[in-house]
A and B are shown apart, each in its own frame.
Chain A
Amino acid sequence: MSIVRHPLFRPLAALAILLLIDLLLIPGFFHIEIKDGHLYGSLIDIANRAAPLALAAIGMTLVIATRGIDISVGAVVAISGTVASMLIGGTMVMNNGVPEYVANTPMVWALCAAMGAALLCGAWNGVLVAGLGLQPIVATLILMVAGRGLAQLLTDGQIVTVYYEPFFFLGSGYLFGLPFSLYIVAAVFVVTFLLMRKTALGLFIQSVGINPVAARLAGLKTATLIFFVYLFCSACAGLSGLMISANIKSADANNAGLLLELDAILAVTLGGTSLAGGKFSLAGSVIGALIIQTLTYTIYSLGLPPEVNMVVKSVVVFLVCISQSAEFKNMWRRVFPARSKGIAA
């Protein structure tokens, strides 16, 4: 019974069921081979494609843990991708008859500028929520509406294409046989996890989520905490924007990261974090992102029309939310009084 009660049991079970379906229905799903020293296979592909979403979900987890929500994540992705792509750009220079690509701005500076833009967005959200006390959904709605406009203003509404090899490494490079994006996600996850578990920060964030007033009266600097949570969420979104634009080798202010905030919220919810705040699981959110990507991959591989994806996703959200609600658990207890002790916990 103790395994069933573990918070990661449900998301892991969901992922396992999905993988089992894939094992039965998709031939060669678990086949992994080595080509040119890189690992190739469906599983690697899923993990690689889930990376930007996993990053956004890690940031979103902390925001939701403080009882907030950040719906500007997609706009931040568009902004950071646009800034990086514009600064890097890239032109072909013939050097002794060998074509060489040169960046407009040194890549390090471009990446710093992009992350700086993302941090500014986060600071903006943080000031509105923590400083002015606006409702999180409203405060971030402003950036969600205006952010894409700003990104388009930067690019004059054009899609910016990048021609600079080293930048692509962020999105599609390989290190020791595995996609480089996985290392980024792993690094962000480990740092965040250690901060939350080995310092008191995790406890502080949880107490803000459970009762902000009580947390403040207990001497916590709630406003500062909330500010940094939004800053962190935007930083994650900015990193994810760099990854996305490096992967598609361009920045499209209109479509980059469109509806990513919703997928991130879904990933967080699937991972067992309650939208009411106070209880969170970083590992759960990463697993949630993997579930979403596996679901998408399965739908595509089964030859179903991609349109089914949205319907399935929405049904999953409905089911997960309803199964999380206390009312449903009460109903369940009434219908199955004998068995409920373990399940309802």
Chain B
Amino acid sequence: MSGAVAGAKPSHPRGLTSSPYFTSLVTVMLLAVLLVAGGAAYPGFLSLQVMFNLLIDNAFLLVIAIGMSFVILSGGIDLSVGSVLALTTMVSAWLLQTWHVPPLLVIAISLVMGAGFGAAMGAIIHYFKLQPFIVTLAGMFLARGLCYLISINSITIEDPFFVAMSQTQVPVLGGFLSPGALIALAMLAVAIYVAHCTPFGRAIYAVGGNEQSALMMGLRVARTKVLIYAFSGFCAALAGVLFSFYMLSGYGLHAQGTELDAIAAVVIGGTLLTGGYGYVAGALSGVLVLGTIQTLIAFDGTLSSWWTKIVIGGLLFVFCVVQRLMAIGATAKK
């Protein structure tokens, strides 16, 4: 299916390197290599709980990356997700601690707020024909600024429901997962279904492949684009809720730079930044690769944490170049 809608992008699978699975496959192989190398170097690295912790620690990043996949598949980009996450933790903490709003209502308010924020940006992008980059950049400033308007200090969350969610350990296959990780996995399942089995999903791929032809085919481009950014905002808000389960505090500096991690995860997961090509499931492998690198560096103990950034940058470079060379190869073959 993706070959058909990818249009001018590398399509017509000929051999392994030009098959649509190729970059996704490379990522999965890379993940396996990283895990095996880790297992060989450090005893206990491959234990089930270390793997589960990988998921628990990166649940919020996974949720954000899912939303980002949708945006990138449609040919856009959303730089505001990290700030929306921070804003959600801030608003949740503030509503809980100052106004004593019931926790479930707080979560609902946060999610609606995130989706609304995204929808507003999507509408501005579509109706004023502005670049997603600059609009979501302004959204990023706005959300961070709003955080500081609520408070410049961090607010601790003491609500029993949030505390319970942060401490619950759900037994799975002899190990345990946090409720946050389970929510993230459920979100991934829903996103995969939406992207590959619904008309909305096909519209996303079509808009990303070529917006003009999508419009001529009679697809509702406006509705699709606004919904995509609304979905990304929703994911960012959900990630914010998971993050506040994890950190039990709201703070304007939470998750700085997460938007870049999410973009990196999506690209490493095999989605083309030009849009229209890739898999939502790639977000999981991308996030796991980033998480494994971090865990490897933590296990090593002698490497400093800034190596993470350098390695992520290097990986991003390799994947971008591979994507580019594949695109050049595909055009040359035609």
Contacts and interface: CB of A to CB of B under 8 A. Distances in A.
A311 B320 contact: no
Given A142-B316, A265-B134, A307 B148 contact: yes
Interface stretch (B97-105, B107-115, B301-309): B301-309
- The 6 lowest CB-CB distance pairs between A and B, nearest first, are A146-B313, A149-B309, A310-B145, A307-B148, A314-B141, A311-B145
Interface residues of B, number: 43
A318 B124 contact: yes
B128 A322 contact: yes
Given A149-B308, A322-B124, A138 B320 contact: yes
A294 B314 CA distance: 39
B124 A143 contact: no
Contacts of A326: 129
Contacts, number: 124
Nearest to B131: A275
A156 B303 CA distance: 11
Interface of A: 69, 128, 132-135, 137-139, 141-150, 152-153, 156-157, 262, 265, 269, 275-276, 305, 307-315, 317-318, 321-322, 325-328
A133 B306 CA distance: 28
B128 A148 contact: no
A311 B260 CA distance: 21
Nearest to B307: A149
B134 A132 contact: no
Nearest to B252: A307
B42 interface: no
B137 interface: yes
Contacts of B312: 145-146
Nearest to B325: A132
Nearest to A150: B310
Contact of A327 (B128, B134, B328): B128
A137 to B, nearest CB: 6
B172 interface: no
B313 A143 contact: yes
B260 A145 contact: yes
Contacts of B130: 321-322, 325
A140 to B, nearest CB: 11
Nearest to B77: A137
A317 B264 contact: no
A326 B130 CA distance: 9
A141 B141 contact: no
A69 B140 CA distance: 17
B329 to A, nearest CB: 13
Given A317-B134, A322-B124, A327-B127, 16 more contacts: A128-B320, A134-B320, A142-B313, A145-B260, A145-B309, A146-B309, A146-B312, A146-B317, A149-B307, A149-B309, A149-B313, A265-B134, A305-B152, A309-B145, A313-B145, A314-B140
20 contacts: A135-B273, A141-B264, A145-B316, A146-B310, A146-B317, A305-B152, A308-B145, A308-B149, A310-B145, A311-B146, A311-B149, A313-B145, A314-B142, A317-B137, A318-B142, A321-B130, A321-B138, A325-B128, A326-B129, A328-B128
B220 interface: no
Interface of B: 77, 124, 127-131, 133-135, 137-142, 144-146, 148-149, 152, 260, 263-264, 267, 273-274, 304, 306-310, 312-314, 316-317, 320-321, 324, 328
Contacts of B145: 307-314
B137 A265 contact: yes
Contacts of B306: 148-149, 152-153, 157
Nearest to B261: A145
B64 to A, nearest CB: 16
Contacts of B321: 132, 134
B229 to A, nearest CB: 15
Contacts of B149: 305, 307-308, 311
Given A137-B77, A322-B124, A322-B128, A310 B141 contact: yes
B325 to A, nearest CB: 8
B129 A146 contact: no
A132 B138 contact: no
B138 A314 contact: yes
Contacts of A310: 141-142, 144-145, 148
Contacts of A152: 304, 306, 309
Contacts of A307: 145, 148-149, 152
Given A141-B263, A262-B137, A307-B145, A157 B128 contact: no
A82 to B, nearest CB: 12
A138 B148 CA distance: 29
A128 B306 CA distance: 23
Contacts of A148: 306, 309
A153 B310 contact: yes
Contacts of B140: 262, 314
